[in-house]
Amino acid sequence: MNYREERETRRVLIPEDLTYLAERARALETYAVRPWDRERLWAAVLAAQMEARTRREREPVVEARGALQILDAIERHFVRK
C-alpha cells in the first residue's frame, strides 16, 4: 500500500466526534464542551489556570490542559476540514 492509498483509507472524524470525546474526558467535566468550540474551551481552561492559586486548584487545570492537547492532536490528524 502506498502513501496515497493509506491516506485515503485513514479514518476521518467530524466535530461531533470531538464533542463526544471531550464529554467523556473526566478532566473536562467542569467545562462546557457542547458544541465543539476549540477556542472557547481553551479560553475557559486558561482562565481557570490564571485564577488557580493553590496546587490543589492547579492540578485539575493541568489535567484539562493535557486533555485539550490530546484533542488538538486528534483534531489535527483525523478531522476533515
Q: What is the mean pLDDT of the chain?
A: 88
- Record the pTM: 0.80
The residue ranking higher by pLDDT, 81 or 52, is: 52
How does DSSP assign 1-68, residue by residue?
--HHHHHHHS--B-HHHHHHHHHH-GGGTTS--SS--HHHHHHHHHHHHHH--SHHHHHHHHHHHHHH
The pLDDT assigned to 57 comes to: 95
